[in-house]
Amino acid sequence: MMRKRKGILLDDVRIWNERNAFFYMENNAGEQYQISRKLYYQLIYLEQTNYIPSEDEDFPSEFLQKKGFISTSRLIKQSMFVRRWIVAYIGERGRSLFPTICHVINKLLPFLALELLVLGIVANAIKRTPFIWYDSIWIDVMGGIITVTVHELGHLIAYIDYKRENEIEITDTGILLFLFFPIGGYVGVKYADLLRKKDQIQGLAAGLEMNAAVIGLILLGRIVNPYFDILSPVILYSTTAIIFNSLPINGTDGCQILSVLLGVNIGALAKKTLSDKRRMKRMVREGPVGWLCLLLFSFQYLLKIIVVLLEVGSIIFLMILGYYYFFSH
C-alpha cells in the first residue's frame, strides 16, 4: 500500500489512447504495453501531481519501476557520474505558483537584467569603491547556494508563465550531483519543445538573465551600503555561471539555445558524428560548412572533457580545503 503523497516521478515515457477505447504506454527502450483505462488515468494523474492516493492499492508500482516508467527515489541517475536529487515535486501545482507575478517578471527580465547589469558596472566604475572580501568559507558556500537558487528560479518563473497557456509540464526541481558532490541545480520540464521558438529561448535564457540581474543589484547596492560586499562571492559565482552556461557544452543553457536556433540537438548530433568515421568523412567532403560543424563538435567535446576535469579538481580542492579548515584549528 502506497502512502499518500509519496514522491513518484513519471519518467520520460509516452502514454496515449486510441478512440478513448484502447490505452497504451511506451518506455524509453521502445517497449509498448496495452494498459487498462484505470491505469491510463492513474498515470495521467501521476504526471500532473507526482503522487498516487493511498486508496489505489492495485497500482503496479514495482512493475512500472522495473520497466523504467516511474521512479520512486529522489536520487535519479542521469549519466555515469551525474545524478539529480529531487528537492521538490511540482506537477500541476505549477499553475498556482503566482502565475501573474511570474508573467510580469518573465516579460521584464530580458530588459531589466541588462539595464541593472550595465548600471551596476558603470556606477562602480565611476565611484571606484574597492571591494571588501570576507574571509569565510560559510560566506563562500552561501554565495554558491544563492547563485544556483537564483539561476533555477529564473527558469522556474519562465516556465510557470508559459504553463498558463501551454501544455508543458514542470515536473520537479532539485540539485545536480557529480558523484555525490553538488555541482548545480535544475528545473525538470516536459514538452518545452511545444513552445514557440522565442519562448523556448527565453525559458532557457531566464537563468542567465536572473544571474545578471542579481549581479547588477549587488553592484548598485554596494554603492549605497558597503555591507553589500558580503555578497561579493555571488558576483564571482554568478559571472562564472553566466560564462559556463553560455558555452556550447552538452546540457548547458547555451548549447540548448543553439539547438533551438538551429532546429537540431547539437549535443546528440556531435556525439553521433564524432563516434562515426563515415559520417565524419562525409562532413569533410561537404566543404567549409562541414569543416565548421566538425570544428564545433570537436570544440564541444573538448570543453566537456575540460569541464569534467575541472569538476574533479574542484571536488579534490574542496575536500582538502575542508580538511584543513575543520581539522587544522
Q: What is the mean pLDDT of residues 118-139?
A: 84
Whether residue 230 has pLDDT greater than 80: yes
CB crowding 8-31: b at 16 or more within 10 Å, else e: bbbeebebeeeeeeebebebeeee
How much is the pLDDT for 285? 80
Who has greater pLDDT, 77 or 50? 77
Who has greater pLDDT, 56 or 305? 305
Q: What is the mean pLDDT of residues 267-287?
A: 79
Partners of 172 in the β-ladder:
89, 188
Torsion sign (Cα): 262, 263, 266, 271? negative
The H-or-E segment that residue 315 falls in is helix 288-327
How much is the pLDDT for 325? 66
Distance, CA of 29 to CA of 215 (rounded, Å) = 44
Q: What is the mean pLDDT of residues 235-250?
A: 88
DSSP state of 53: -
Q: Can you read off the three cell numbers belonging to residue 116?
A: 541593472
Q: What is the mean pLDDT of residues 208-218?
A: 95
Return the percentage of the chain with pLDDT > 90, whole number. 22
Closest listed residue to residue 235, CA positions, set 170, 169, 147: 147
Distance, CA of 254 to CA of 260 (rounded, Å) = 10
Distance, CA of 234 to CA of 214 (rounded, Å) = 8
Who has greater pLDDT, 101 or 305? 101
How much is the pLDDT for 3? 37
For residue 190, name the pLDDT band (cuts at 50, 70, 90).
confident
Whole-prediction pTM: 0.75
Average pLDDT, the chain: 80
Whether residue 215 has pLDDT greater than 90: yes
Distance, CA of 65 to CA of 112 (rounded, Å) = 44
For residue 258, name the pLDDT band (cuts at 50, 70, 90).
confident
Whether residue 2 has pLDDT greater than 80: no
Closest listed residue to residue 157, CA positions, set 110, 103, 87, 114: 103
Domain ranges (residues) in the chain: 9-72, 74-246, 262-329
